[in-house]
Structure 1
């Protein structure tokens, strides 16, 4: 059975992010190789991955090479650093689907790049990236930025189970 995963903010090719976020890599090439290996260690070819933005700072050829190495059916929700390139550009580099807007998943999870405003009375959960190693408090937010998950995609079950635990604690 295929699994579903979520991840964001790889920033492939962005060497400055190593210092900005204290990433444990010597350079952008090591970061790229490690993040590809961690992705493929959990994601199989038949799995689905929602990438919630800020995928690559590299040119089309190099971005396409990275996307082709990554397992799974890949859906990109555009992040602030992805928006300088068209939806078509991202499809041409190998994403199977590209959305300019947040996606509602399983009628309960809002998938977006940047955290969305979530009223405390709303029962929904916003799965997001953008804020890297920061974290919003509360049961309405689930940050899938690579810094929180050892650069490895997070399974839907991990997110669902975390939400259930939060509900039980409130």
Structure 2
């Protein structure tokens, strides 16, 4: 049986993100290799991964090389740094699916790059990226940025169980 994973904001090839977000890497090559290892340590070939944007700052060939090394069937929801490139560019780079808009998963989870407006009366959860080390308060938001999760994708069950626990707590 395959698993479903979520992650965002790898910023492959983005040297300045190491300082911007105090990432624990000495250089961009170490960052890229470490994030590929972390991904493949949990994601199997038959698994599905939703990447919620800001995947790579590299050219198409270097991006293709990274995508091809990552396990799983990969769906990209375009982030603010991805939108300068066309949907077909990202498909050519190796993603299996690419969405320019948020997606709804299991009729309850809104998957988006930027956090969406959610009022406290809405029963839904917005799984998002974009804000890196920051965190929105409340049970309606789940920040999947790599900085919060040791640069490793999380399973749907990990997110679901975390949301259920926070609602009970």
Same fold (TM over 0.5): yes
What residue number does 1:47 align with? 47
TM normalised by structure 1 equals 0.99
What residue number does 1:65 align with? 65
Once the two structures are superposed, the pairs formed by residues 86-165 of structure 1 within 5 Å of their partners are: 86-165=86-165
For 1:125 and 1:106, the matched residues in 2 are separated by 11
For 2:120 and 2:56, the matched residues in 1 are separated by 34
For 1:62 and 1:38, the matched residues in 2 are separated by 19
For 1:158 and 1:118, the matched residues in 2 are separated by 21
What residue number does 2:29 align with? 29
For 1:25 and 1:167, the matched residues in 2 are separated by 35
4+ long deviations beyond 3 Å? none
Aligned positions, number: 169
For 1:168 and 1:19, the matched residues in 2 are separated by 36
Long gaps (5+) in structure 1? none
RMSD between aligned alpha carbons?
Answer: 0.4
